[in-house]
C-alpha cells in the first residue's frame, strides 16, 4: 500500500523546471555592448528566478586577444570583482582608446584605476593569457557561432545545458525592446521544456 501511495505522489508531483542560462556576448570596443549594460539587471534577476546563471563572454574584434584572455583570467580569479574590471575595460577600450596588446599593459592600466589590495597584479600580468583563459575564449567563440549570432551584444540562451538560440542587438530597435525580447524568451523557456 505504501508503494502505491509513493508512486501516486511521485506521478502527481509537479516536474522541476530546469534553469535557463544566459550568456551575454560582448566586445569591449562595442558601444552598444557597453550601453546595454543598463538593461542587464532585470534579465539577470529573471535568470536567477529560473535557477540559471547569467554570465558575460567577450569576443575579440581583431587578432589581438589579450584583453579577452585577461578578462577570462580575472573572471575566474576574482569573480566578485568582475563588474569593476568589465567597466574599467570598457573605459580603457572606448574612452582611452587603449589597444591592450598584453597582460602587462592591462595590469598596468587597470591597476591605476582599480586600487584594491586584494588584487595580485603581478599574478595577473603573468597569468593573463593562461591556457584556461584560452579554452574559455574558444568555448565562447564556438557558442556564438553555433548560436548563429550576427551582431553584438548577443544574449545566448541555454536550457539544460543545451543551446536554444540567441537574441542579437538590432540598431533599428531600442535597448528596452531588446530587454523585453530576452525576458520573454527566458520566461517562455522556463515555463516549458525544450521539445
- HEC string of 140-152 equals HHHHHHHHCCCCC
Q: Quote the percentage of the chain above a pLDDT of 70.
A: 89
Q: Which fold has domain 18-191?
A: Glutaredoxin (3.40.30)
Condensed to tens digits (0 to 9), the pLDDT of residues 50-73 reads 999 999 999 998 899 999 999 999
Question: Per mean pLDDT, which range of 1-10, 40-49, 169-178, 182-191 is the poorest?
Answer: 1-10
18 has pLDDT over 90: no
How far, in Å, CA of 126 to CA of 94, rounded? 25
Average pLDDT score over residue span 9-32: 73
How far, in Å, CA of 6 to CA of 69, rounded? 52
Evaluate whether 112 touches 82 at the Cβ level (below 8 Å).
Answer: no
DSSP 52: -
DSSP 91: I
- What's the burial of 162, exposed, middle or buried (CB within 10 Å: 0-12/13-18/19+)? exposed
Q: Which three cell numbers stand for residue 166?
A: 540567441
Condensed to tens digits (0 to 9), the pLDDT of residues 94-130 reads 999 999 999 999 999 999 999 899 999 999 999 999 9
pTM above 0.85, yes or no: yes
Residue-range domain boundaries for the chain: 18-191
Amino acid at each position: 500500500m505504501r508503494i502505491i501511495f509513493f508512486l501516486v505522489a511521485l506521478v502527481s508531483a509537479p516536474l522541476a523546471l530546469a534553469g535557463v542560462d544566459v550568456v551575454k556576448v560582448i566586445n569591449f570596443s562595442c558601444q552598444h555592448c557597453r550601453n546595454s549594460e543598463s538593461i542587464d539587471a532585470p534579465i539577470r534577476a529573471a535568470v536567477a528566478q529560473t535557477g540559471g546563471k547569467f554570465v558575460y563572454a567577450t569576443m575579440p574584434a581583431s587578432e589581438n586577444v589579450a584583453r579577452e584572455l585577461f578578462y577570462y583570467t580575472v573572471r575566474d580569479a576574482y569573480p566578485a570583482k568582475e563588474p569593476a574590471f568589465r567597466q574599467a575595460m570598457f573605459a580603457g577600450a572606448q574612452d582611452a582608446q587603449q589597444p591592450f596588446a598584453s597582460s602587462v599593459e592591462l595590469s598596468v592600466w587597470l591597476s591605476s584605476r582599480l586600487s584594491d589590495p586584494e588584487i595580485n597584479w603581478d599574478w595577473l600580468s603573468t597569468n593573463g593569457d593562461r591556457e584556461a583563459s584560452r579554452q574559455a575564449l574558444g568555448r565562447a567563440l564556438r557558442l556564438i557561432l553555433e548560436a548563429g549570432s550576427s551582431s553584438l551584444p548577443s544574449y545566448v540562451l541555454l536550457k539544460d545545458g543545451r543551446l536554444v538560440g540567441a537574441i542579437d542587438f538590432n540598431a533599428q530597435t531600442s535597448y528596452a525592446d531588446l530587454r523585453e525580447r530576452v525576458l520573454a524568451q527566458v520566461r517562455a523557456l522556463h515555463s516549458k521544456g525544450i521539445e
